[in-house]
Structure 1
Amino acid sequence: LADRIREWLARDDRHITIRPVINLNDHCNGSEDTGHHGHQRPDPYVPTFLTAEKVRLRNPTCVFPHCTKKSRSCDLDHLTAHTRTGITCECNLAPLCRHHHQLKTHAGWRYQQLTPGTFLWHEPHGQTMLVTPTGTRDLTDP
């Protein structure tokens, strides 16, 4: 295999991109009860490349209800604020486009991640919406 890779890399007529293998099932675990999902504090505010990539692969779009903005152009939001014991890992990050990030931060919208990639949103006037990889569903009682 190593010889084959050397052969590929030596060719001028090929463009090869090497990317890391990312296992989306290899995520935060609570094996150590540190109060931070098994993570040690302090951790950096800005996620590592690998953490950011996992979050964006798990959620290809902004996770705000009905938004379709690609996660590659979104902010990575800490569900629990980093300053309030929120850790910087995929279990506490979600992609929000800048507009929806501002709504969440300044306009009273709240959300939580129920399972990886599934979010429950509460808007300031009482409406509740479930965002899953397949779309948004209004859970508000009629």
Structure 2
Amino acid sequence: AHDEAGHTLLADRIREWLARGDRHITIRPVINLNDHCNGSEDTGHHGHQGPDPYVPTFLTAEKVRLRNPTCVFPHCTKKSRSCDLDHLTAHTRTGITCECNLAPLCRHHHQLKTHAGWRYQQLTPGTFLWREPHGQTMLVTPTGTSDLTDP
């Protein structure tokens, strides 16, 4: 644990503060963004077992939003904290609820993906290949959007 200045705190000191009751202590989990799903996409479950909920856990949602700070639709800059978490493979079609199958889409772009023929896939964590209904292809990375369609 660390104080506001970043100094390491000893467990005894933390216990002392907790016992006093006049301190506000916030505990935040450490989230490892390099810890990815390990399973095979061929199974449709990416190595996960058991029934799969539609709504992601706090940790899963937080990892997705930290990895993708904005909507992953081409050229969108809406902050991921206000976005829907979209299942790349629909949950009803064996799409699991894990970071490898979730991406933030603002409500408008989520509707385009769901109802207007836009399609995308995650190539690597944080990198998405988009295809619009008329064939244009775009690559969205953490640094921006590139048009891959031949002129």
> TM-score of the superposition, structure 2-length normalised?
0.87
- Contact 1:79–1:86 (CA<8 Å) still a contact in 2? yes
Q: Is the 8 A contact 2:70 2:76 kept in 1?
A: yes
Q: 1:107 to 1:116 in 2, by over 3 A?
A: same
Return closer, same or farther for 1:67/1:11 CA change in 2, 3 Å cut-off: farther
Q: Distance in 1 between matches of 2:36 and 2:28?
A: 19
Structure 2 unaligned regions, length at least 5: 1-9
| 1:32, distance to aligned residue in structure 2 (A) | 10
Query: Percent identity between the aligned chains?
Result: 97
How many aligned positions are there? 142
Q: 1:96 to 1:33 in 2, by over 3 A?
A: closer
Deviation at 1:2, TM superposition (A): 1.1
Task: Choose the corresponding residue for 1:32, options 41, 50, 57.
Answer: 41
Question: Which is further off, 3-12 or 123-132?
Answer: 3-12
Aligned in 2, Cα 1:94/1:31: closer, same or farther, shift over 3 Å?
Answer: closer
User: Take 1:138 and 1:51, find their aligned partners in 2: how far apart are those partners?
Assistant: 30
Computing the radius of gyration from Cα coordinates, the structure with the larger value is 2
Tell me the TM-score normalised to structure 1 length.
Answer: 0.92
Partner Cα separation in structure 2 for residue 17 and residue 123 of structure 1: 44
Q: Give the direction of change, closer, same or farther, for the CA distance of 1:65–1:31 in structure 2 (3 Å limit).
A: closer
| 1:32-87 deviations in Å (ceiling 9; x for gaps) | 97541101242000000000000000000000000000000000000000000000
